[in-house]
Amino acid sequence: MPSRLPCRPPPIQELLEHCGGLQQTLPLLSLLASEGPGEHYLHWDELRHRTPPQGLSHEQWWLAERLSRRPTPLPLQASDGQTFWFSQPPLLLEGLHQIDRQAGAGGLAPAAITSRSRRDRYLLSSLMEEAITSSQMEGAATTRDVAKAMIRNRRPPRDRSERMILNNFLTMQRIQELRDQPLTPQLVLDLHRLVSENSLDDPADAGRLRPPGKEVVVDDAYGTVFHVPPPAEELPERLEQLCRFANGETPKVFIHPVVRAIAVHFWLAYDHPFCDGNGRTARALFYWAMLNQGYWLFEFISISSVINKARGQYERSFLLSESDDNDLTYFLLAQVRVIQQAIGSLHTYLERKAHEVGTLQQRLEGMEGLNHRQLALLRHALRHLGFRYAVLSHQNSHGVSHQTARSDLQKLASRGLLLPGKDGRREIFRVPEDLPARLDDLPAPHSFGAQ
């Protein structure tokens, strides 16, 4: 958790009286508007340390900022009964627009994930990354390499940390299947059970709401209380309301889909409805909401890997929203930045992989001992790891005899570039998943004899 609680803003009514009432305050709004939209959405805890616009005190500056924020109420209520709300500064609208363009239903798929084989490979990689990082945020201590080997080899988990990671991986897979289903309280409980099974101090807590008597607080090692969730008696009704919001039934006004997904994330984390596993479940519901609303690219994106690099900012954004009259905009802006960074990381990763493939393809062109048919097959194979070739298909593709086609494939297999096997009685040759590494490990081209 952050090292301290943010300083709460002065009450608006006190500021109005201090600044001479609304009539005296209106000119401040005009002055602020003339400054143009800022690059930041400042909380009082930050604003009070900055130099105010000329002629304004910190109190006047904050009052003008606060009055300029037009609230859109949400059906989420704080523990004291006050409503959460958000405003839509240009900074937020710009971020939402960029996410729509890059990850929305109308966006174009990156070329690297348009083929089935590469799509499946990148999907597995992203699911593992999210499962591992989200679990590490909650205390899992297993290394990445060990966790990935466990998942790839389908090895049973050996300890609690590995169980958390495997549970997260299975949950992310399950969300892919549930993306078109409406959210229900039972579905949330089922997802929590999947996230937390065999990883809690009390196994009975998996898949059930906090029972009365098991109240929790969010604090640090020194006893500083950062958040007191609603009492257990309110949780069933609050979970019902969360599901209605997630499904778009409330409120009646339009809420941008990304705002809705982020708010679902915040809502479950705020309510803290489970004895443990709330963070993992909240992030899982965010993924469900994004996929459910058509943001298909989130099959391949890990937000936890970005959040984990700046945990303090993530946790502080919760506190900023709760401490400033329940203004969710702070959390929305923080999560929009996380999403933008996660999308950027995906594109960087795909570009790097495309460059690696391109470099290998260039190397193939100068490799001795490969005929043009084998070069064409390997160029295709680099883009379709796991693909299976048959002698007949290679024969028909190049208009050669059966024996020539079979010889092409067998020679590639002899160099470890294809894996021979059988599909019934038919001879097949499969592209190894580590083909790029195998090509890198090949001896220098001149060592191959001519065919």
Quote the pLDDT of residue 443: 60
The CATH number that domain 367-447 falls under is 1.10.10.10
Report the 10 Å Cβ neighbour count for 318: 21
CATH class of 76-351: mainly alpha
Quote the pLDDT of residue 371: 87
Q: How far is CA 272 from CA 101, 178, 280, 333, in A?
A: 33, 23, 11, 22
pLDDT at 243 over 50: yes
For the chain, report the end-to-end CA distance as a whole number of angstroms: 65
Select, from the ranges 10-19, 184-193, 347-356, the one with the highest average predicted confidence (pLDDT): 184-193
With a pLDDT cut of 70, the percent of the chain lying above it is: 88
Calpha distance 181→179 (Å, rounded): 6
Amino acid at residue number 353: K
The ranges of the chain annotated as CATH 1.10.10.10 are 367-447
pLDDT digits (tens, 9 = 90+) for 246-281: 999 999 999 999 999 999 999 999 999 999 999 999
pLDDT at 238 over 80: yes
Which has the minimum average pLDDT: 136-145, 287-296, 358-367, 441-450?
Answer: 441-450
pLDDT at 2 over 80: no
Quote the pLDDT of residue 34: 58
Quote the pLDDT of residue 450: 37
pLDDT digits (tens, 9 = 90+) for 148-203: 889 877 899 999 999 999 999 999 999 999 999 999 999 999 999 999 999 999 99
Beta-strand ranges (E) seen in 304-418 are 388-390
Tokens of 187: 């579905």
The ranges of the chain annotated as CATH 1.10.3290.10 are 76-351
pLDDT at 444 over 60: no
pLDDT at 366 over 90: no
Q: Could you tell me which residue, 312 or 442, shows the higher pLDDT?
A: 312
- Per-residue pLDDT band for 4 (boundaries 50, 70, 90) equals confident
Mutual angle of helices 329-365 and 311-323, in 10-degree steps: 160
Quote the pLDDT of residue 80: 87
Residue with tokens 């508007």: 33
Mean of the pLDDT values across residues 1-24? 80
Quote the pLDDT of residue 230: 94
